[in-house]
Amino acid sequence: MSRNFLLRFLAAFLFCLFASSLRSFAQLGPSGDEKFLFEAVNRERTSEGVRALKWDSALAAAAHAHLQKMVERRILSHQFPGEPDLTQRTRDAGAHFSMVAENIALAPAVHELHIGWMNSIPHRENIMNPKLTAIGIAVEKRGEQYFAVQDFSTAVDDLSKEGQEKKVAELLRAQGLRIFSSAEDARKACDGPPGNSTPRPLAVFHFEASDLNQLPDQVVHSIKKGTYRSASVGACNAVESKGFSLYRIAVLLY
């Protein structure tokens, strides 16, 4: 067996081992120091009437991978030479989002990490930002210092087209509209006219959103002032630009 083959085999084995350990890390919920900081962040938010963040295992995996680079180099940085930027590395870890942010810190005690972030305006803004909905945290002690990374996002659910259509249909149904069972005409309207469908829609709306828990104001306003009775919903190909995710939806009103 050649030396080059052995080296390639060892490199492949180590890569698989690293990937496996990263997946295992990502599957865990917060514990220990990460749990302390997670709970501290949500205490700050809820005390000010801001919705608590959800733990995101993909963000935690991205934070952990970046933390290892900081620990190895013993310095703080949001990006090291040759390392993908925050958007790409969180995306590579499996996160789906429309907004992403990061806090990093170094302190002699875990509680001082949180104090330092809260006393720094840009870091506090990330912690308290009401548009952010998810967080992943990684902490490691090296020597007498704790290194930490907080990765935040406005999470976008990884929904199938059928799942997207179902969520929007529920919102339209709540507005008093009957929903057509077929999404074919609405899907055709994603990239052009809805075709020669019968009946013909009275109005066609297109919108992009990271959150399908509410309809755009324009759609709601049109429904309330119009005489529409039915609707059809079509999910279009999602927008994936530089790691950011947005749903694209077509709504036909009849």
Name the pairing type of β-strands 230-235 and 178-179.
Answer: parallel
H/E segment holding residue 81: none
Place of tokens 């929904």: 159
* Closest residue by Cα to residue 137 from 129, 84, 146, 45: 146
- Provide CB contacts within 8 A for 12, sequence distance 6+: none
* pLDDT tens readout for residues 108-161: 999 999 999 999 999 999 999 999 999 999 999 999 999 999 999 998 888 899
Chain centre distance of CA 182: 30
> Strand pairing partners for 232?
252
pTM equals: 0.70
Q: Confidence band (pLDDT; 50, 70, 90) for 56? A: very high
User: Terminus-to-terminus CA distance in the chain, angstroms?
Assistant: 72
Which pair of tokens denotes residue 71? 């620990």
- CB 222: neighbour CB atoms within 10 A? 17
3-class DSSP state for residue 77? coil
Task: Return mean pLDDT, the chain.
Answer: 87
Closest alpha carbon to 40 in 52, 29, 28: 52
Tens of pLDDT, residues 216-241: 999 999 999 888 999 999 999 876 65
